[in-house]
Amino acid sequence: MDVIERIKSQLSSNPVMLYMKGTPDFPQCGFSAAAVRALSAAGASFGHVNIFEDPELREALKQYSNWPTYPQLYVNGELIGGSDIIIEMYNSGELEKVLAEAK
């Protein structure tokens, strides 16, 4: 399976997916840690991929999403954004609304 197909498969099997540096239990950058904290505070159940474990995916996802940095949050296969957007949405209450619509 090529890398774009793997990305599509991951997104279709996880309504809420976070591509991040590290894991939710051990984030490896402050931005990924902040994204995990906001998602957890919002009560989200989410899949995750540690981009450090898959360099091919890490590079392909930048092209796929047209978003150069990590973390990247997807809900129902659509890119929501990075940690600043996630935190802003959490603070405004919008994140919970978007997560509630996740299939």
Which position has the token pair 């600043």? 84
Is 29 marked within a binding site?
Answer: yes
d(C-alpha 14, C-alpha 93), whole Å: 22
pLDDT tens digits along 4-59? 999 999 999 999 999 999 999 999 999 999 999 999 999 999 999 999 999 999 99
- The pLDDT of residue 93 is 95
- The pLDDT of residue 13 is 95
d(C-alpha 79, C-alpha 100), whole Å: 16
Q: What is the pTM of this model?
A: 0.95
What's the CATH code of the domain at 71? 3.40.30.10
Cβ atoms 102, 12 nearer than 8 A:
no
Q: Which two tokens stand for residue 31?
A: 């931005």
Is the bond into 24 cis (omega within 30 degrees of 0)? no
Domains held by the chain: number: 1
Indicate if the pLDDT at residue 103 is higher than 90.
Answer: no
Got the DSSP string for 56-90? HHHHHHHHHHT--SS-EEEETTEEEE-HHHHHHHH
Indicate if the pLDDT at residue 1 is higher than 80.
Answer: no
Mean pLDDT along residues 83-92: 97
What's 22's DSSP letter? B
- The pLDDT of residue 29 is 96
Residue 52: domain span = 3-100
